[in-house]
Amino acid sequence: MMTTIRTRFAPSPTGYIHVGNVRAALFPWLLARQQGGTFILRIEDTDRARFVPGAEGLILDTLEWLGLDWDEGPRRGGEYGPYHQSERLEIYRAWAQTLIDKGLAYADPYTPEQVQAFRDEARAAKKAFLYRDYRPENPPAWDGTQPLRFKVANPKRYTWHDPVMGELSAGPEALDDFILIKADGYPTYNFAHIVDDAEMHITHVIRGLEYISSIPRYLSLYEAFGLTPPVLACLPHIMAPDGKKKLGKRDGAKSVSDYRTDGILPEAMLNFLASMGWNDGTEQEIFSRDELIEKFSLSRVQKSGARFDEKRLLWMSGQWIRRLSLDDLYTRVSNPAGNRSSKQSAAASTYWPPAAAQASEDYKKRVLALAQDRLKTLADLPQLTNYFFEEPTRDDSLIETNKQLKKLSPGERQALMRTAHDSLAALTDWTPESIQQRLNDLLEKTSQKPGILFSLVRIAITWAPFSPQLNDTLALLGKETTLKRLASF
């Protein structure tokens, strides 16, 4: 009989949720969904010194925004709760007592100063410090006021198979007496997650590579409890853009909620994170959620680190924006509650530029249809469309930074715009097709290249670094506005 797969994501509410956290949720979620299993969300909130109020809500909101739904956990419930470690203290004490009764756990009587003296002694002897070398012969009975340590009764070599990293092993030097429960009564991660995973019947533990050196300790604890370990898989690090170190805040990594506020689509973020360290063996780059579920496998996760490339994320976001229907895109930019964090201020309650507030829905949809192909994020919308709703502010730097336009004298530029104005003023059929034909006629009349004439017309009309197709832009702005802006150049 096949075992039903049960995976989990167990974040700590100690700050913002970053891309590494979300990928550690995505891969076990994909595995559970693919195999018809169960995905559990557990909050590991026992590090009270680092606890950040509101962080849990941000974690849950981010997972829901990405569509990473969980079957058991906060906001869901389940038969193996509670799903907050801070509510499971009696459970940990009961499991700890089992080890005490077996002679495999003891109260730690040493002060920090004594432990430091042991470290200094080991350093002087030029050997690695192992706590078990200084284990007290007659420790006091544990009353909860002292740390409780696991006793490594049989230091030995452990060998295990990691579906990502392959066959691994570590010798007895990797094993030591580690703390199970701290003096404040809260368990350590090393202890609590093993108890929780056992009680919640977790079959696959998927987490970051930073945990791989601790796995021998976990295996020794599984053995002490007489438990069969779940499948233990470690994901490669997400590397900084230069590929030389693990991604950190100093490398420009932001909270996933910041990317959300910046207008990155959840489909793009999910696609991007899945592709960091995994591929399906083909050249395909754009994957829907359903395609990711269908094609994902731990065997296709690479061993080497995956470089964080924000430009690629922006490219993916643009690709996903182009896949949206116009109505869907309009809803997302007009009602950002589905794409923005709850912390977004009321002053920025839409991605439309402020001047669009008085425009009709029909006109805004026509503007959006033009801008859709050029959007990389939803937050790009104001810069790309503001001139459709109000008179733009002149910015001569757009001319001075254009290698071709800055070669023309101010008089030559004005003469070209007068010619364009007069030619377009004579146009009676103001449609994109007619405008394009008239613009083409202007190229012959002025003997100018498109890169000069069209660029100058576009700047004079929009005073923006980018704009949609020129003839479509003029058609939507209307003849009166177009001529007025050309005349004021």
Q: Do 268 and 302 share a domain, yes or no?
A: yes
pLDDT in tens, 426-436: 999 999 999 99
Is 153 in the same domain as 286? no
pLDDT of residue 2: 54
Higher pLDDT, 346 or 34: 34
pLDDT at residue 291 is higher than 90: yes
Strand partners, 98: none
Same domain for 61 and 106, yes or no, is no
Instruction: Give 143-155 pLDDT, tens digit per residue.
Output: 999 999 999 988 9
Report the pLDDT averaged over residues 67-93.
97
pLDDT at 269 over 50: yes
pLDDT at 17 over 90: no
- Between CA 305 and CA 336 the distance in angstroms is 34
Residue 214, in any domain of the structure = yes
Q: Which of 7-16, 139-148, 338-347 has the lowest mean pLDDT?
A: 338-347
User: Is residue 266 assigned to a domain?
Assistant: yes
Mean pLDDT of 12-32: 92
Domain membership of residue 82 (yes or no) is no
pLDDT score recorded for residue 148 = 98
Q: Which of 183, 209, 235 is the last residue of a domain?
A: 235
> Which one of 280, 307, 334 terminates a domain?
307
Same domain flag for 375 and 407: no
Average pLDDT over the chain reads 93
343 is known to lie in a ligand binding site = no
In this predicted model, which residue has the larger pLDDT, 75 or 252? 75
Q: Is the pLDDT of residue 288 over 50?
A: yes
Q: What pLDDT band is residue 335 in, cutting at 50, 70 and 90?
A: confident
Using alpha carbons, select from 277, 275, 296 the residue that is nearest to residue 31: 296
CATH code, domain with 250: 3.40.50.620
Catalytic residue from among 249, 303, 445, 449: 249
36-45, 192-201, 272-281: lowest mean pLDDT where? 272-281
Give me the pLDDT at residue 346, please: 35
Beta-strand pair 231-235/204-208: parallel
**For position 341, what pLDDT does the model report?**
42
Check which CATH number belongs to the domain holding 478 and give it.
1.10.10.350
Judge if 228 and 92 occupy the same domain: yes
- Integer angstrom CA distances of residue 45 from 50, 56, 280: 9, 9, 35
- Say yes or no: 220 and 252 in one domain: no
Domain count, the chain: 4
Structural domain contains residue 186: yes
| The predicted structure's pLDDT at residue 243 | 80
**Where is the domain boundary, 218, 235, 252?**
235
The yes-or-no verdict on residue 392 having pLDDT over 60 is yes
Residues 101 and 229 in one domain: yes
Span 371-389, average pLDDT: 95
pLDDT for 95 beyond 90: yes
What average pLDDT score do residues 448-459 get? 95
pLDDT at 1 over 50: no
348 has pLDDT over 60 = no
Asked whether residue 377 is domain-assigned, the answer is yes
* Pair (450, 370) in one structural domain: no
Q: Is the pLDDT of residue 340 over 80?
A: no
pTM for this structure? 0.89
The pLDDT score that the predictor gives to residue 315 is: 97
| Residue 300 sits in the same domain as residue 349 | no
pLDDT of 225 > 80? The answer is: yes
Judge whether 392 lies within some domain. Answer: no
Q: Is residue 249 flagged as an active site residue? A: yes
**Residue pair 178/188 in contact by the 8 Å Cβ criterion:** yes
Per-residue pLDDT, averaged over 270-281, amounts to 93
Q: Do 330 and 356 belong to one domain?
A: yes
Residue 177 has pLDDT above 70, yes or no: yes
Range of the domain at 463: 397-487
Is residue 319 a part of any domain in this protein?
Answer: no
Looking at the fold, whether 227 and 117 belong to one and the same domain comes out as yes
Both 168 and 110 in a single domain? yes
pLDDT of residue 343: 42
Does 314 fall in a domain? no
